[in-house]
Amino acid sequence: MNTFLHQPRLAADDLFSALRMLFPQTQPTRSTTTAGVEVVSVLVASDRVRDVWDEWRGKHGETGWWPCVSGISPEGLTSGGCLHEGVDAAFLENMVAEVVRQDHDARAASIVLSSFLWTRDCLEEGELEEWMDEYDPDRLAPRLGPAIAEPLPGVSRWVPEDRNTLYRRDQRWLHFVPARGGYEVPALLPGLIMTGNGSTHYLHPADDAALLRRWHEQWGVELFFASGPRLELVVDRPPLDPRSAAQAATELTGYCEDTVDDARVAGDGMARSTVWSLWWD
């Protein structure tokens, strides 16, 4: 039967065996979601997890397993409840098919536009011009600093031991997911990323996938850490010139205004850095 689900090159048994040899002190585990997605997981020390993630990200082309760091345990990923309510094999197949076939640039633009229109509707009289300075990349770009030669160093908010509020401080789960890229992970593990807040609608996993795929193609953005309302992206080619940084900043604002509430600050800061760290309240 034809399927849109990704078939990894490396068998789960072989991945499991390799991780057992590499992490004898924290033996890996295998689990399967209610929709049939197999996940191989291992605990890694917080101060090592970025290096381990980088290594296995580099092997993704030969393994077909995407590494994702999280504070959510394998049991939390694969058990029933709110993370997987109503998500069976047929639902998963349809969702992954949507992610694979969708026009991700168009969907990403629609998501950002919807967020901006919602924000505009909350404006008071006389605030429209100021709003446009924040949300129109062409108007924002002249207000940003000049192009820079090198990316700004990214600051991880959720992974280092001294920077997080998750229940497990000294270790992080590294989950291996059978995916074409990090952008597919939100569809394969619904609920891993919980985007939205009390005043805006929650995004569909295909929405997250569209933005992640667009950003990957534009700026080399990769899914690194995901744990409920906390998300961290590694950026290989962050935008360094004002116009590109303005575009990234406005899209980040539209996606996560809880974190990126000032597009100008983001355009001169996080958008030009190697880590985008987001959080939904």
Give the distance, in angstroms, between the CA of residue 51 and the centroid of all CA atoms in the same chain: 18
pLDDT in tens, 148-185: 999 999 989 888 754 544 445 689 999 999 999 999 99
pLDDT of 227: 93
pTM (2 d.p.):
0.92
pLDDT of 85: 59
DSSP secondary structure of 57-77: HHTHHHH-EEEEEESS-HHHH
CB 3 within 8 A of CB 93: yes
At 115, is the secondary structure helix, strand, or coil?
A: helix
Q: How many CB atoms lie within 10 A of CB 261?
A: 11
Closest CA relative to residue 93, chosen from 187, 177, 211, 193: 187
Question: 173 phi and psi, to 5 degrees?
Answer: -80, 135
Mean per-residue pLDDT for 63-92?
82
Tokens of 168: 């497990």
pLDDT of 120: 85
CA distances from residue 216 to 22, 198, 212 in whole angstroms, order as listed: 29, 28, 6
